[in-house]
A and B are shown apart, each in its own frame.
Chain A
Amino acid sequence: MGESIVVTSGKGGVGKTTTTANIGTGLAALGKSVVVIDGDTGLRNLDVLMGLENRIVFTLLDVVENKCRLKQALIKDKRLPNLYLLPTAQTRDKDDVTPEQMLNLVTELKKEFDYVIIDCPAGIEQGFENAIVGADRALIVVNPEVTSVRDSDRVIGKLDARGLENHHLIVNRINYQMTKNGDMLDVNDIMDSLAIKLIGVVPDDRTITVSTNKGEPVVLDNKAYAGQAFRNIARRITGESVPLMDLSSNQEGFFSSLKKMFGIK
């Protein structure tokens, strides 16, 4: 029996889909069998991040409405043989799926895969309820902004009310220089107000934009700083203890620290 993990945040645009794609790919790269589910019916994006948008034939909606078998809707990843994507429909909306259907679907997938990762849509309506109903644990993505922290707080409260109390925090898009100058919330400020366990910190990295557009998760890019952060998070999810990256090594300039990290002159 595998484990199901929902990636959520409340606020939109903080990097839930990017996190889902990267952690899913990262876990698959560690040899686990993984399926990533796009929970954002009507505004799907996970397929683009994985570079699989041209291969969608059947979707999650077809599965829950018994128009096809579950196996038919799963799309095998281009790069990793043990990674699958379950895309959702673009022409339907979130109310077309019920929590019961999602729960059955996730339970079914947990039998086949080590990890089932669900990308939650923004907001706290039906789509959110659908995404969290089958989850065993939650990853909450937060940006170092007051708005994001506040929405995450609301979401954590919602998760607690649903009995999903195994949750961890991912601080995304942190900029060491700005937090040092006091222009941005730092990790401690966020931890202080949310009071939940931290599982990883992902630095702000422009390679993310490139990887999103190319459809290649940054976690496979050994040179990218953000990729390293996502690899660490994937390892922590498997239960390994990995120390947090030292973000201050980033201070003398992004590229020089990268070169230093990988020993390139």
Chain B
Amino acid sequence: MFDDNIIIKGNRDGINAIINMNKFKDFDEMLEALIKRLSIGKVFYKGSTLKITTEIKYINEKQFGKLKNVLFEQFLIKDCIFEDKEEKSSKTFSGIYEGRTKFLRRTVRSGQVINYPGNVVIIGDVNAGSEIYAAGNIIVLGALRGYVHAGFGGNSKSIVAAFYLQPEILQIADIMTRSPEDSPKPQYPEVARVKGDTIIVEPYLLNKFI
């Protein structure tokens, strides 16, 4: 089976490991997989310079230390360079009418972060304390109570739709808004989109609900 969570390739700069953090539950799982991967050609990596390309924001100071420790001590790697993957891929996503989409058939709970360079559809709830970043639309077939950012990367035509739209913070492209605090909470499905330079929220089908 080809596995694209960790890709190791050689180019003119040396050996490059591209790690997709989104495919792993956490840092420790990634580290385990990386060790397993590198163990195959252990002798080969000895004394070489390894460039690691990954989403650096997912790794903290302590974890960097741990990673370097493993690389230097277990694999005797001479030097290790980190490069942020995001820098390259910050192109505006344009597939909001037809394009790359991630489907999640579960509830996104507090503390969980979903990050996807495309549209995200969640069949379940998005609970308070969770964060969703999508380059395209975010559609929730359930209650949306977390932090959502659609059009991450700058597509202001993206929308956020939910059966029950009560996010902590809702952001589309670079416009951000909060749920109004004391207004009545509508029990029908709603869509948030950008109109002019503000975010407006309206029912799925205007004529049906108002």
A-side residues, CB < 8 A to B, are: 150-151, 153-154, 156-158, 160-162, 193, 195
Q: Is the CB of B25 within 8 A of A153?
A: no
Q: Contact flags (1/0) for B122-148 with A, using CB distance below 8 Å? A: 001101111000000000000101000
Contact (Cβ within 8 A) B26 A161: yes
| Chain B residues with CB below 8 A from A161, complex form | 25-26, 112
Contact B112 A157 (CB under 8 A): yes
B109 within 8 A of A: yes
In the complex, whether B107 has a CB less than 8 A from a CB of chain A is yes
Within the complex, which residue of A158, A160, A162, A193 is in contact with B127, where a contact is CB–CB below 8 Å? Answer: A193
Min C-beta distance of A155 to chain B, whole Å: 9
A150 adjacent to B128 (CB under 8 Å): yes
Which of A153, A158, A160, A195 is close to B129, meaning CB atoms less than 8 Å apart? Answer: A153
Which 5 residue pairs are nearest across A and B when measured between Cβ atoms? A157-B109, A154-B110, A153-B110, A154-B111, A161-B25
Q: B106: CB under 8 A from chain A?
A: yes
Q: Using an 8 Å CB-CB cutoff, how does the interface string of B57-86 with A read, 1 for contact, 0 for none?
A: 000000000000000000000000000000
Closest A-chain residue to B109, C-beta based? A157
Q: Report the Cα distance A150→B127, complex, angstroms.
A: 9
The answer to whether A160 and B106 have CB atoms under 8 Å apart is yes
B110 touches A195 (CB 8 A): no
Tally the A-B contacts, defined by beta carbons under 8 Å: 34
Chain A residues with Cβ under 8 A from B124's Cβ? 195
Q: Which residues of A contact B107 (CB under 8 A)?
A: 195
Q: A150 and B125: CB pair below 8 A?
A: no
Interface residues on B, range: 10 to 19
A150 contacts which of B106, B129, B143 (Cβ < 8 Å)? B129
List 19 extra interface pairs beyond A157-B109, A162-B25, CB under 8 A: A150-B110, A150-B129, A151-B110, A153-B109, A153-B110, A153-B127, A153-B129, A154-B109, A156-B109, A157-B110, A157-B111, A157-B112, A160-B106, A161-B26, A161-B112, A193-B143, A195-B107, A195-B124, A195-B125
Chain A binding surface, main DSSP class: helix
Report Cα–Cα, A157/B128, bound state, in Å.
12
Min CB distance, A46 to chain B, in Å? 27
Type the 1/0 row for B141-162, where 1 means its CB is closer than 8 Å to any CB of A: 0010100000000000000000
Ordered by A's residue number, 18 sampled pairs between the chains whose C-beta atoms are within 8 Å are A150-B128, A150-B129, A151-B110, A153-B110, A153-B127, A153-B128, A154-B109, A154-B110, A154-B129, A156-B109, A157-B108, A157-B109, A157-B111, A157-B112, A160-B109, A161-B112, A193-B125, A195-B107
Q: Which A residues are CB-close (under 8 A) to B110? A: 150-151, 153-154, 157
Q: Report A-chain residues with C-beta under 8 Å of the C-beta of B143.
A: 193
The distance in angstroms between the C-alpha atoms of A150 and B130, with both chains bound, is: 11
- Residues of A contacting B145 in the complex (Cβ-Cβ under 8 angstroms): 193
Closest chain B residue to A10, Cβ basis: B110
Residue of chain A at shortest CB distance from B124? A195
